[in-house]
Structure 1
């Protein structure tokens, strides 16, 4: 019985590992790719959580304007804020916004 249990645990581990490596087509796998996807529409609003080394830790309800090299450009309180990609911990996006952008990007012709 002990050997069967070990085999089952090994199979479970393998399936979990495969699941982690699964990649959804057109879904961004980095913060930069996510921001590039969202920057296509001027109306997309995000909340950016920044690392503690920056002066502001959170950019709430910021409008993502563009991604230029390693900089994300946000419109925040009627000013532009340029944030280094390495300074961003996470991005919070409305569910409908990300789904709309993913569906739009998957429908674009790749000819």
Structure 2
């Protein structure tokens, strides 16, 4: 049986899963617990089922499947704001990354606010 050749990655590059794990480790433990909960996983799944398209792409007349539930106003660990579905929107990964980077001051430059 043929064997798949190894994937070449230039020195210093990491795959997305590894970068996501690092970002998750840096997140406040209380906030991390909210996202890891079964309640969030269920709520996220149901929200994306009801809102299957990216809201930002739709505003630009594009149809892109959504795969992320975004808090329109960052919750900053506030459980009430975290669970308020009126403050959620469905986004594709690209739009969510762009929005998050703009809010945090750029990729890798997260500003922590109390």
- TM-score normalised by the shorter chain: which range applies? under 0.3
Given the two structures, how large is their TM-score scaled by the length of structure 2? Answer: 0.27
Higher strand share: 1
Which structure has more relative contact order (CA 8 Å, sep 6+)? It is 1
Structure with the bigger percentage of helix: 2
What is the TM-score when the length of structure 1 is the normalising length?
0.28
